[in-house]
Amino acid sequence: MPLYTYKCTQCGFTDEAMMSVKKRDKKFPCDQEGCTGVMERDIDISAFRLKGDGWAKDGYSKKQKEKKK
């Protein structure tokens, strides 16, 4: 299941939760004591990095044909 970030509309508290794609837009009450705000899904930035061998930079890309003179 994907991990989503949620932010309170009143106090600004952020939290992460694993939810199915069908339930990701569901709003729920804030967990902070004394807050009556609602947690809404926040925009989150993901990072992606290719590590190890076997990627295009290692020579797996198509080789260019030599031009005839």
* Domain spans of the chain, in order of start: 3-45
Between the CA of residue 6 and those of 9, 11, 28, 50, what are the distances in Å?
10, 12, 9, 28
Identify the residue whose tokens are 């069908």: 22
pLDDT digits (tens, 9 = 90+) for 3-55: 889 999 999 999 998 989 898 888 999 999 999 999 999 987 777 777 777 66
Per the prediction, the chain carries an average pLDDT of 83
pTM of the model: 0.61
